Structure 1
Amino acid sequence: MDYRVLLYYCYTPIENVEQFREEHHRLCLQLNLRGRIIVAPEGLNGTVSGLVADCAEYMQLVKADPRFAALEFKVEEAEAHTFQKLHVRVKPEIVHVGLPHIKPYERTGVHLSPEEFRAMKDQDDVVIVDVRSDYEYELGRFKNAVTLDIENFREFPDRVERLEQYKDKKILTYCTGGIKCEKASAFLLEQGFENVYQLHGGIIKYGLEAGGEDFEGKCYVFDGRVAVDVNHVNPSIISACHHCHTPSDRMVNCANPHCNAHVPLCETCGEQLQGACSPACQEHPDKRPYDGTGTYPKISNHYRPEQGLISYRAPTAIKN
């Protein structure tokens, strides 16, 4: 395949975040990359797509910066760009959870390689904890994982009390690429949990390096692919069609933009409901036309990559 998708993050202090954002945006433009990148005083987080050579040069230049020397890229193949536009933005945190005081580069859970995670995950004194949102883990999750019934990661701190019963266990956290686990595991340590670990590189790295064994279903991703296979050892489907309840891992967004729910919908129900998650949403006057995919990227007619440099407006205040 001619394209690559890069998933990465690095918790490291960044000064002059506005200047860094502009310089980084220009670098991505030069390399014809597209995607979403967040810059914050606590670090860098991004998912971008581009041609093989452009991605290779990007990785080399980023890691040449001493601040990002330890950054690890998760690299996947793609047939084309998985993003339609490029966005580089400044935020208070590189993953929003409302815990800016926690600095994973100072203290966080023990990092486990995919092989180490696989060796530990079935031990009697271990509890696997999924720190992702409900629509993500309903599509796919590790066998026997504890889920926390959250719609957004910022709800995580309020759900930690549900893990109190496991304080005498080893807690193994995981997420898509590892970034949420950095803060989640650090917060668990702050709350008095002693044996806290995290899957380094997340589900994606586990699939690339350990074959994805015992990850049931597909992994939800935040680009045009929506869901990807990670288990090449013992794959299975755990999600069911939202409408008819038959096994299905075909993830869609409800065609009603006012609903926009992320749900599995089999092809038959997709056609019957024209991409809606229910008959009520199908009848909504604002329902979007269904083209069989169940994804509705924003129209990018007349998109100019450099527009982000022209129209960007920095936040009024960024607190360290």
Structure 2
Amino acid sequence: MKPYRVLLYYIYSPIENPEQYREEHHLLCLRLNLLGRIIVAPEGLNGTVSGLTEDCEAYMAALQADPRFAHTEFKIDESEGHAFQKLHVRVKAEIVHSDLGVDPLKQTGIHLEPEEFKQLKNDPDVVLVDMRSNYEHEVGKFKGAITFDMDNLRELPEHIAEIEHLKGSGKKIVTYCTGGIKCEKASAYLLSQGFENVYQLHGGIIKYGIESGGEDFDGECYVFDNRVTVPVNHINPVVVSTCYRCGTSTSRMINCASPVCNNHVTLCEDCGNEHIGTCSDACKEDPNLRPYNGTGYYGKQTQSYSPIQGYKSRQGQKVDVAL
């Protein structure tokens, strides 16, 4: 068993004073030595954090002890170390930026648990629709799923015409994403646009892999931390992506070592070493090229960074937190 845990979670639950709660939540993470990214919004929480097993257990218990977040579900993965380099707890307008004008607490697609999804996914009357960005589904997706060439969920309305033929077809539309959060709004948006029989994979690809083995998810799942991608299919795994430079089969995804480019691409290990983590010869000539360490993950460099940075009192003053 690995010593660290990576937690992925979200919950739609109204927060009356997001700024105040952000402050409290940042302190909690500091006390538990957690790193990661957490969004606090009037509609709820969205977070991915990493830490030692006992610290993650304490974090989950603390969150679920709050009546507002008592029903929070956590996707839990093991790790040899922190999956993040820093801690960011931020207040935003939405826990997943969509601009879709929907409220998942009022309407959303029918939740399918992993085992229900596993039994239903191959039904000829089921259509799987991937709600993730193009660079995510390029490295891995469910067999036969419809994908959109979009950079983020805000672009979903531009692609609705691609599935317009499903209206009134009697087909079951099953949306999916990494952890389930995008589908809460995406499925709600489909319903608002007149689609019927709309479902969503509850807990997303990650939960499906953990609880049901990930069958028929081809490739790997893109994640927003140091790991970049993770395997989820432990039953019939295949590789669906190819190296951006040489075309060989690989699921190894990197960010281009050129900070100007920072392109998400699949790059085999040999090309990564030969081309020092760049996606093109032009990027290779970038004078500010970042040192390639074999992972293709580059955190923003900050002088003398400390997790305490970003914590402020409600009066706007820096606080020396005694941990």
TM bucket, shorter chain = over 0.9
Equivalent residue for 1:141?
Answer: 141
The reply on whether 1:275 has 2:277 as its aligned counterpart is: yes
Equivalent residue for 1:173?
Answer: 175
The reply on whether 1:231 has 2:271 as its aligned counterpart is: no
Equivalent residue for 2:8?
Answer: 7
Gap change, CA 1:260 and 1:105, over 3 Å in 2: same
The reply on whether 1:219 has 2:221 as its aligned counterpart is: yes
Secondary structure of 1:14 counterpart: coil
Equivalent residue for 1:32?
Answer: 33
Query: Which amino acid in 2 is paired with 1:176?
Result: T
Equivalent residue for 2:153?
Answer: 153
Equivalent residue for 2:105?
Answer: 105
Equivalent residue for 1:62?
Answer: 63
Secondary structure of 1:49 counterpart: strand
Query: What are structure 2's unaligned runs of at least 5 residues?
Result: 317-323
Gap change, CA 1:313 and 1:188, over 3 Å in 2: farther
Secondary structure of 2:21 counterpart: helix
CA distance in 2, matches of 1:173, 1:220: 17
CA distance in 1, matches of 2:302, 2:76: 26
Secondary structure of 1:309 counterpart: coil
Provide the identity percentage.
64
TM-superposed CA distance for 1:293, in Å, is 2.1
The reply on whether 1:292 has 2:294 as its aligned counterpart is: yes
Equivalent residue for 1:264?
Answer: 266
Q: TM-score, normalised by structure 1?
A: 0.95
Secondary structure of 2:8 counterpart: strand
Q: Tell whether the 8 Å contact from 1:85 to 1:300 is kept in structure 2 after alignment.
A: no
The reply on whether 1:83 has 2:81 as its aligned counterpart is: no
Q: How many residues align?
A: 313
Query: What are structure 1's unaligned runs of at least 5 residues?
Result: 315-320
TM-superposed CA distance for 1:312, in Å, is 9.8
- Taking only aligned residues, the RMSD between alpha carbons, in angstroms, comes to 1.5
TM-superposed CA distance for 1:157, in Å, is 2.1
Gap change, CA 1:254 and 1:311, over 3 Å in 2: farther
Secondary structure of 2:37 counterpart: strand
CA distance in 1, matches of 2:293, 2:11: 38
Query: Which amino acid in 1 is paired with 2:252?
Result: R
Equivalent residue for 2:125?
Answer: 125
Q: Tell whether the 8 Å contact from 1:84 to 1:300 is kept in structure 2 after alignment.
A: no
Deviations 1:218-270 (CA, angstroms, capped at 9, x unpaired) = 00000111110100000110000001111011111111111110000011111
